[in-house]
Amino acid sequence: MNYNYRYRIEPTDVVEAELARHIDTCRQLYNHFLYELRNTDEYLSYTAMQNMLPDLKDWWDDLNDVYSKVLQLVARRVSDNLDRLKDQKANGRNVGMLKWKPPREYRSLTYNQSGFELKNTSDQPLLSLSKMGEMPIHLHRDIPDNALVKQVTVKQEQTGEWYAIFGIETETDAPKKPALDEVDRDEMVGIDVGIIKYAHDTDSTMVGSLDLEDEYERLAREQRALSRKQEGSQNWHEQRRRVARIHARIVRKRRDFLHKLSNYYAREYDLVTVEDLNVHGMMQLPSNSQNRASASWRTFVDFLVYKCERAGTHFVKVEPKGTTQACAECGVEVEKGLWVRGHSCPTCGFETDRDENAAYNVLQRGHQELGLGHADVTPAETALPTSTTGDSSTVVDAKCVVETGSPTSRTSRVSGE
């Protein structure tokens, strides 16, 4: 199994200057490959670009200062970007050419297979990089004993902080997925995502959205202060880093929440079904786009994909159209505006929460996708106790989603009890 472990590093001023110089050399090499691509009629493969490196080193002295594997992975980076463009064109998207990378957009380099080493000197872990030097690294979690570090990517964030991302491969394989016909009803879940309630599933569990209002207010204040600075001045650069730190804090909080929530569903169920939302199209709608962007539904689904694969859980994305309006019991279309938070079917009399009805439809479509037939909409169990307001379930605040990997029971892991 493959993992990425991210650690903070603190290079000295000398090593930091060397890191910046090597990264800029890699950026110039990246742009040089793009120049060659635009001035040749033939397609340049990864192997062809890699074979250009010895000749380039004859007249480009800076390349000799950078570790050879790092330069080869610059060619790999260009090749991978070209392949992604080809895939998008094959899918009918109108895409252009790769663009030159300015310094602000090229902030990392990668060592693969060799050229790096973890040392422990006087109880201080150090990361040693070939032709670069040594730098302290904060190993806030141990690397598994049976793991092999395949590559290390060193990256500088917009805040100025440096990180090392370890690509790790372990000897253990992912658990085998259970046979679909042997999965119990209470081990299946359909999830409806939203803005006010981030997730509402078929076990009547509701998780509230992450409250980032204070962070966004502070971000707006700092951005207004940045707009009053003279661009390029020392004060402007300091204020820009302050704005970047707030952005980074928001991203960390959101990703931490999404990691914990997706990990809960991947570990607690044998089948997870969610809507395959067209987030890009939804962002083009005229209202509420900021809340949609802040929700990061696509990131949540991406996390679910690899976490379910890692946990041996079946995962299905289904067509989202009509999940809210259709009755999960009889299938009749029940029109309801955004302000209507309940579902009441005039045909069969089925009544439930609006989002829970959508979650049932998501689960049923997942069953149909897998050829399992029609799913029963009656929940096998209530995941949370009845609230004092008379609702069938309780909204869990986002901050109550506990640490990933908690060994507690299903209910306590979501509710924080």
CA proximity to 210, closest of 281, 260, 267: 260
Return the number of other C-beta atoms located less than 10 Å from residue 315's C-beta. 21
* Contact between residue 313 and residue 177 where contact means Cβ atoms under 8 Å apart: yes
Q: What is the mean pLDDT of residues 42-65?
A: 92
* Contact between residue 328 and residue 375 where contact means Cβ atoms under 8 Å apart: no
What is the residue type of 191?
A: I
Positions of E strands within 172-270: 188-193, 197-201, 206-208
Dist. CA 27–CA 101, nearest whole Å = 7
Q: So what's the pLDDT on residue 194? A: 81
Q: Specify the DSSP element, H or E, that contains 142.
A: none
Of the pLDDT bands very low, low, confident and very high (cuts 50, 70, 90), residue 407 is: very low
Q: So what's the pLDDT on residue 323? A: 79
Question: Between 378 and 45, where is the model more confident?
Answer: 45
Percentage of the chain lying above the pLDDT 70 cut: 84
Beta-sheet pairing, 206-208 with 162-170 = unpaired
Q: What is the pLDDT of residues 54-85, one digit of tens each?
A: 999 999 999 999 999 999 999 999 999 999 98
Of the pLDDT bands very low, low, confident and very high (cuts 50, 70, 90), residue 229 is: very high
Return the number of other C-beta atoms located less than 10 Å from residue 292's C-beta. 16
Lowest mean pLDDT among 314-318, 355-359, 376-380: 376-380
Q: What is the pLDDT of residues 241-299, one digit of tens each?
A: 999 999 999 989 999 999 999 999 999 998 998 888 766 555 555 555 555 566 678 88
Q: So what's the pLDDT on residue 385? A: 33
What is the residue type of 222?
A: E
Of the pLDDT bands very low, low, confident and very high (cuts 50, 70, 90), residue 409 is: very low
Spell out the residues 6+ positions from residue 88 whose beta carbon is closer than 8 angstroms to its own: 95
Of the pLDDT bands very low, low, confident and very high (cuts 50, 70, 90), residue 383 is: very low
Q: So what's the pLDDT on residue 365? A: 84
Q: So what's the pLDDT on residue 282? A: 56
Give the CB-side neighbour count of residue 249, counting CA atoms within 13 A. Answer: 13
What tokens appear for 79 in the block? 């090749």
Kindly report the average pLDDT of the chain as a whole number: 82
Q: So what's the pLDDT on residue 76? A: 95
Residue 176 has pLDDT above 90, yes or no: no
Q: So what's the pLDDT on residue 154? A: 96
Lowest mean pLDDT among 6-10, 198-202, 374-378: 374-378
DSSP SS3 for 1 = coil
Dist. CA 62–CA 18, nearest whole Å = 12
Q: So what's the pLDDT on residue 232? A: 86
What is the residue type of 413?
A: R
Residue 33 has pLDDT above 50, yes or no: yes
Residue 411 has pLDDT above 50, yes or no: no
Dist. CA 190–CA 195, nearest whole Å = 17
Q: What is the mean pLDDT of residues 304-312?
A: 89
Q: What is the mean pLDDT of residues 90-111?
A: 88
What tokens appear for 31 in the block? 């742009």
Q: So what's the pLDDT on residue 152? A: 95
Query: Is 0.85 surpassed by the pTM of this model?
Result: no
Q: So what's the pLDDT on residue 290? A: 56
* Contact between residue 202 and residue 189 where contact means Cβ atoms under 8 Å apart: yes
Q: Which residue has the tokens 């110089």?
A: 21
- Listing DSSP states for 194-211 in one string gives -SSEEEEETTS-EEEPP-
Of the pLDDT bands very low, low, confident and very high (cuts 50, 70, 90), residue 381 is: very low
Of the pLDDT bands very low, low, confident and very high (cuts 50, 70, 90), residue 396 is: low
Q: So what's the pLDDT on residue 384? A: 35
Of the pLDDT bands very low, low, confident and very high (cuts 50, 70, 90), residue 180 is: confident
